[in-house]
Amino acid sequence: MNKTVNQKAWFLVLPVLALVAFNAIIPLMTVVNYSVQETFGDNTFFWAGVLWFEEILRSERFHASLGRQLFFTFSILAIEIPLGVIIALAMPRKGIWVSVCLVLMAMPLLIPWNVVGAMWNIFALPDIGLLGKMLNGMGIDYNFTRQPVAAWATLIAMDVWHWTSLVVLLAYAGLVSIPDAYYQAAKIDGASSWAIFRYIQLPKMKRVLTIAILLRFMDSFNIYTEPFVLTGGGPGNSTTLLSIDLVKLALGQFDLGPAAAMSLIYFLVILLLSWVFYTLMMRNEEQ
Amino acid sequence: MKRLGWLIPTLYILFLMLPIYWLVSMSFKTTNEILGSFTLFPQEFTLANYKTIFTDSTWYLGYVNSLIYVSLNTVISVAIALPAAYAFSRYRFLGDKHLFFWLLTNRMAPAAVFALPFFQLYSAVGLFDTHLAVALAHTLFNIPLAVWILEGFMSGVPKQLDETAYVDGYSFPRFFIKIFVPTIGSGVGVAAFFCFMFSWVELLLAKTLTAVAAKPIAATMTKTASSSGYELGLLAAAGALTIIPGAIVIYFVRNYIAKGFALGRV
């Protein structure tokens, strides 16, 4: 749509600007402020420069959490995106089953995050949980509170359970927007179902999939409550993702300076990676 | 292949329902049964857990508090996002693209980063432990989302509508409220749904910004989990009840959910 240039439009944006500025800029300034100062807890602050940033960037602990975070995010993306597309392709297009599928599939999205964590906790507990009991009954030694590998598997299964539906909904929206004429044309040409997928459905889903990948990327990088309730970052530190580590540092140990520096680095990592994703996918689209 | 197509969604839904079933079934069991023996169905069926929740004010007020701040947040987010989305969809102005991207960056901000500064900010302005504080804090990620979704819907409305209305002598506010907003009614519904959803499920900020008066149900649950020796049945019942508002909301917007993001611009 061709838009007219109108500087007065700023007045319409003003309320949003005011509220988001109050919510984003003031707290962000607080964080920046803490990140360059040292305090001994009596409300006196000393200039510390980039000390905390250096400390965080060099610390083994930060590297480890960042590594776990990246592993987590890329694992869930690698599972949820293809799985979501497969399910969306197999979903009915007409009739009452569409509503039934949509309502049931959307359910995990609307469960409070701590309930998701608690639900998976009692579902997977080896002594009283359905999943834990089943796996152990099949002869698999499974205890996610003790074994790091089992904890990771449970964590990823939980996220797949929780968020694949979002990908399904988006991919499905992309699929139903394809006009029937495309399919008829493909039928006349005798295209195989793979060809239909590759040359009609996938290109049409590209935009919604971009949104899905970006959303899943951002949200999985910010994930806190579910793993915190499920594993508490354990056993040991094996599932301590970035945000869990950050909250431990900020609210647990009250190390404001390092926590603030870590916050900023964390935020910048998300911004940078999102920007890279976004430009890469947009460039593909233009070609 | 085509005939077995129904199998994939069915298996997926089964996988989704299993943990939910376990939660609901556990909520009807006594603590003894949960810890003592492994049963697929509740053997000593009990409603005691639900009774506790509906009679103990610390429990049911949690739901009331959550619903108050979620509704407040949905109203504020959508009301403020509407004019902004209109500006983005109709006009070009100085810094519009940057502003749009900056709004979206707030959607990326980890709640964990904002927890402590929010606590200090809202304490400083005297809003700590109020429903308004949580509602305002959640606008941080809901307003960008609402603007994004609404802008997509608005761009689908031809500009001729605006022009005709102005020719007919409508002023901007009257046109906007009387004609334009009803035209994109489904978009408003979708935006409201997503605001409701993200505000309802968020815990970290809601918990940080409240103490007693506005404590959300999610926080009540975490307190119980740690303090009263893990009453799993009660916890399961409280969890099962949190699913209901979401399920009701989904039912109403089921035909529009998917559309919301599909129309939104990247």
Task: Verify that B114 and B1 share a domain, yes or no.
Answer: no
Q: Please give, rounded to a whole number of angstroms, the shortest distance from the CA of A221 to a CA of chain B.
A: 8
Q: What value does the mean pLDDT take over residues B68-93?
A: 93
Per-residue pLDDT tens over the stretch A166-190: 899 888 888 887 888 888 888 898 8
- pLDDT attached to residue B258: 57
Chain A hits for B259, CB-CB cut-off 8 Å, are: 173
Domain hosting residue A119, numbered range: 60-286
Task: Verify that B71 and B27 share a domain, yes or no.
Answer: no
Structure tokens at B245: 């508002």
Q: Is A99 on the interface with B (CB under 8 A)?
A: yes
Mean pLDDT for all residues in chain A: 84
Predicted interface score ipTM higher than 0.95: no
Q: Residue A104: which of A92, A114, A115 has the closest Cα?
A: A92
Whether residue A164 is predicted with pLDDT greater than 60 in this model: the reply is: yes
The CATH number that applies at residue A136 is 1.10.3720.10
What number of C-beta contacts closer than 8 Å exist between A and B?
A: 272
Task: Verify that B7 and B127 share a domain, yes or no.
Answer: no
Q: What value does the mean pLDDT take over residues A65-85?
A: 94
> Percentage of residues in chain A with pLDDT exceeding 70?
94
DSSP-derived 3-state class of residue B49: helix
Number of domains present in the structure of chain A: 1
Provide the 8-state DSSP code for A85.
Answer: H
Per-residue pLDDT tens over the stretch B86-132: 998 888 888 887 888 788 788 877 887 788 888 888 998 998 999 99
Among A68-77, B21-30, B220-229, the minimum mean pLDDT is found in: B220-229
Task: Verify that B241 and B115 share a domain, yes or no.
Answer: yes
Q: What value does the mean pLDDT take over residues A104-122?
A: 88
Chain A hits for B18, CB-CB cut-off 8 Å, are: 123, 130-131
- pLDDT attached to residue A35: 83
Q: Please give, rounded to a whole number of angstroms, the shortest distance from the CA of A202 to a CA of chain B.
A: 14
User: Taking a C-beta distance cutoff of 8 angstroms, is the pair B56, B220 a contact?
Assistant: no
Task: Verify that B3 and B130 share a domain, yes or no.
Answer: no
Q: Is A250 on the interface with B (CB under 8 A)?
A: yes
Task: Verify that B31 and B88 share a domain, yes or no.
Answer: no
Among A115-124, B21-30, B211-220, the minimum mean pLDDT is found in: B211-220
To which H or E segment does residue A39 belong?
A: strand A37-39
| Domain membership flag for residue A17 | no
Nearest to A3 among B90, B94, B257 (CB): B90
Whether residue B71 is predicted with pLDDT greater than 90 in this model: the reply is: yes
Per-residue pLDDT tens over the stretch A93-112: 777 788 888 888 888 988 88
Nearest to A122 among B8, B80, B236 (CB): B236
The CATH number that applies at residue B70 is 1.10.3720.10
- Three-state SS sequence of A152-193: HHHHHHHHHHHHHHHHHHHHHHHHHCCCHHHHHHHHHCCCCH
Chain B hits for A274, CB-CB cut-off 8 Å, are: 108
- pLDDT attached to residue B57: 81
Closest CA in chain B for residue A169? B258
d(CA A224, CA A255): 19
Provide the 8-state DSSP code for A3.
Answer: P
d(CA A28, CA B109): 10
| Domain membership flag for residue A166 | yes
pTM: 0.85
How does residue A285 score in pLDDT terms, banded at 50, 70 and 90? low
Whether residue A125 is predicted with pLDDT greater than 60 in this model: the reply is: yes
Task: Verify that B17 and B67 share a domain, yes or no.
Answer: no
Domain hosting residue B41, numbered range: 1-46
- pLDDT attached to residue B149: 83
